[in-house]
Amino acid sequence: MLSLTEPETGPETEPEIDGDELRPGTQIGEYELEALLGAGGFARVYRARHTTLGTPVAIKVLDRALALDPQTMVRFVREAQAATRISHPNVVRVLGFGRHGDGRAYQIMDLVEGLPLDQHIAAVGRLPVGEVLALLGGIVAGLDAAHAAGIIHRDLKPANILLARADGQLVPRLADFGIAKAIGGADDPRLTQTGATLGTPMYMSPEQALGRVITNASDVYALGVVAYELLTGRVPFAAESPFETMMMHVQSEPALVSATVPELGTAFDGVLCRMLDKEPTARPSLADAMRELRAASVAPGRAGRTRRTTLLAVLAGAILASGAAWWFLAAPRSPEPAPARTASPAALAPAPAPVPDPDLAPAPKPAAAPAAAPDADRRPAAPTAPPNRVVAPAPPQRRVAPAPASPAAADSLEVPSDYPP
C-alpha cells in the first residue's frame, strides 16, 4: 500500500469523477468501486471488491476540498491508526490506507452489511428493553476493547455504530475513530486548538463541551446518552443551536426515564443519572454501568410496575363484571307463573254429608191444602228428584206447653177441649 504522501499514478488509476463522488468501476489501489454506500461531513464510503481475490470491502475516501487540509489529513490518519490497534468483533477493522491519484486519502475497512444505528432508531423508534440491552452489551464490549488498547473514542453516537446481522441478531460494530485520542497522550496541536471542542453536541460530555481533559468516563457519558435514546426514543438534551445543547450538558439535569416513558418504571433512573453525572469521577465504569443496566431490566421497580399494571387490568375487569351482574339482576322482567299445585287424595275426596241436629232443625211449614186434581190429560208430569241427592227427612215437631205463671193463673186458664189430658 502506498503512503499518504505519494499519490497513486498511472493511467489505470485515473478516477472517473462526478463532483466529489467517484463512479462505479473506478480503481482504488487493488480494489474496484461498485456503489456509493453513504456520505458524511468530510468523506464518502463506497462498496468495493478486490480485483483478484473478489473480497468485498468498504472504502472511505476524503472529499477533494479537504484532501490538502493538514488538520483533516492528520485526523484521517489518526482514525486509521487507532482502528488498526483494536481487534474485536464489535469494532470495524481498518485493513489499510493510502492516497489516490487525485490526492485524496482513503481507508480500506471491513464491509458491514447493515444500517447505522441512528437510521434504525429513526425507522422503528424506541426499542424494546431486551433489544436495548443486547445492543448496549456489544457497544460496551467494543469500547472496552478500545480502552484496553489505550484509545478513547470521543465521538460515540448512533451514526458511528453500524448494525451487522449474525444468526438473525443485530450486532453493533463501532466505527469512525477520527477524533479518537490515545489515553494519556496529548492532542496534536494541528488537530485541536486551545479551547476547541471535538465531538457531536448531542452526545458530548460536559468536559468535552468545556474543552477540558477527557478520560474513559467521557465515553461512559456518551454511552449513557445512547442508552437513554434507545430506551426513550429521544436524547436527553437538544436545543436549537449546538452551543445551547452543549451548555445543557454542562448545566442541566436530564429528565428521568420514568417521566419520559412511564411504563419503563423507575429502575433505569438511577443508573442513567450516574452515567450522565456532570462529574467524570462519579460515573461508573463500563462494566459496572452494563451490570446496573441489566439489573435494572429485572429490578423490583420495573417488575412492580408490571405487576401493578396487571392488577389494575384485573381490577378493571372485575369492576366491569360486577357492573354487568348488577345490571342483569336489576333489569325489569315479566313475573314467572306460579307452579301448579297437585291436590292430595284427601282433598279430592267428596266432603261427608252434614248430620242435621234435631234441636236446631227449623219447624216444618204447614202443608197447603191440596188443589183440585186437574184433568188427567192436562196434568203435568211429576218432577223427578235430581240424581244422587239425599234429602234428610224433617224431624218430628216437638210441642212444648207453656208453663203457668202462677197457680192462680193456672186455674184461670181455659184448657181447650181437644187438648189431651
Answer yes or no: are the C-beta atoms of 155 and 191 closer than 8 Å.
Answer: no
3-state secondary structure of 166: strand
Q: Which single residue is written with the C-alpha cell 445512547?
A: 226
Residues 6+ apart with CB under 8 A from 192: 198
Please give the Cα distance from 203 to 223 (Å, whole number).
Answer: 8
Residues 6+ apart with CB under 8 A from 49: 31, 32, 34, 55, 56, 57
Among candidate residues 155, 176, 269, 277, the one labeled active-site is 155
3-state secondary structure of 170: strand
155 is catalytic: yes
Please give the Cα distance from 324 to 316 (Å, whole number).
Answer: 12
Among the listed residues 409, 157, 130, the one whose alpha carbon sits nearest the alpha carbon of residue 297? 130
Region for residue 284 given its phi and psi (left: phi exceeds 0; alpha: psi -120 to 50; beta: otherwise) = beta
Bridge partner residues of 60 (DSSP):
45, 107
Using only C-alpha atoms, the chain has a radius of gyration, in whole angstroms, of 57
Please give the Cα distance from 38 to 49 (Å, whole number).
Answer: 17
| Catalytic residue IDs | 155
